[in-house]
Amino acid sequence: MAPLLQVESSTKRFGGLLANREVSLAIEAGEIVGLIGPNGAGKTTLFNCITGYMHPDEGRIVFDGADVTRTRPERICRLGVARTWQVVRAFGRMTALENVVCGALQRTNRIAEARARAGALLEFTELRGRGDMPAATLTLADKKRLEIARALATRPKLLLLDEAMSGLTPIETAAAVKLVRRIHEELQVTICVVEHVMEVVMPLSHRVIVLDYGVKIADGAPQAVVRDSQVIRAYLGDRRAAR
């Protein structure tokens, strides 16, 4: 069976900077994939290419059998890819419920139906009672949950989480990890997480992909990847890798 998402030697340049160099990867339906790498490794660029906010200079991206290399973000969402953002982007002047309603309206034109679905998703993401609050007034942790609820409302097949846990306290992080697991198990959504916190990615992911300076340097089971000498060098420097 063809993978749900296939990135074929995608290259993205910003002037002289190679943000992604011939990155190839595949995500199978039902996986949780961790995408890691030091700052500036090109993780968010890759996310932006997959979700249509940027288009790769070379290479090809195929989602669910459709070539989406040059497709606009809203169409990619319709095909079944949803994302969250490194810096939260809630609709600040709308209420939490209305934020999620906007997502749900992707799959229905009826406001009542969208509201019901949004209410259920606020429940699912443990935002019950926050529905009537303006999104701008929520805490960071709640805003991140709200973004996830809004993304889920579009009924995605693949959910891309860009640093869904950064800036959270350890307790909030644990709750977020639990939420990601529940999305995977209860809603059967394939998930790709970008994350800095190794303690989060390693136990959560079935498979880990490592980017460094725009190049994929490792792809495999978490236990194998942490022992990979190139990965250790990228994260800890040459001296450690030599040991």
Partner 1 sequence: MARLALVLGTLAAILYPIPLQIQGTTYYQTVGFLVLITAMLGVGWNVIGGWAGQFDFGPQVFFGVGAYTAALLYVKLGVEAWLGLLAGVAAAAVICAVLTYPLTRLRGHYFAISTVAIWMIAQPIGATWEYIGAAQGLFIPMKAHAGIVGSAVALQFSGPTKALGYYYSALVLFALTVALMAWVERSKLGFYFRAIRDDQEAAESIGIDSRLYKVLARSITAGVFAAGGVLYAFWALSVFPEQVLELNWSTLPIMATVVGGIGRLWGPLLGAVILIPISQIMSTTLGTGPLAGRGIDLIVYGLIIVVIAAFRPTGLLSLPWARWFGRRRPAAA
Residues in the site for partner 1, rule: CB under 8 A? 51, 53, 72-74, 77-78, 82-83, 85, 89-95, 98, 101-103, 105-106, 109, 111, 132, 147, 150-151, 153-154
Least separation in angstroms between CB 53 and partner 1: 7
Give rounded-to-5 percent helix, strand, coil for the chain: 40, 25, 35
- What are the E-state strand segments in the chain? 5-14, 17-27, 32-36, 58-63, 66-67, 81-83, 158-162, 190-194, 207-212, 215-220
Query: Measured at the alpha carbon of residue 15, what is the angle toward residues 55 and 44, in degrees to the nearest 5?
Result: 45
CA separation for the pair 41, 26 (Å, rounded): 18
Least separation in angstroms between CB 38 and partner 1: 25
Least separation in angstroms between CB 109 and partner 1: 6
Least separation in angstroms between CB 239 and partner 1: 41
Least separation in angstroms between CB 99 and partner 1: 8
Given a contact cutoff of 8 angstroms between Cβ atoms, the answer to whether 128 and 145 are in contact is no
Least separation in angstroms between CB 82 and partner 1: 7
Per DSSP bridges, beta strands 58-63 and 66-67 are antiparallel
End-to-end Cα, the chain, rounded Å: 41
User: Sign of the CA dihedral 231, 51, 179, 173?
Assistant: positive
Other Cβ atoms less than 10 A from the Cβ of 95: the count is 16
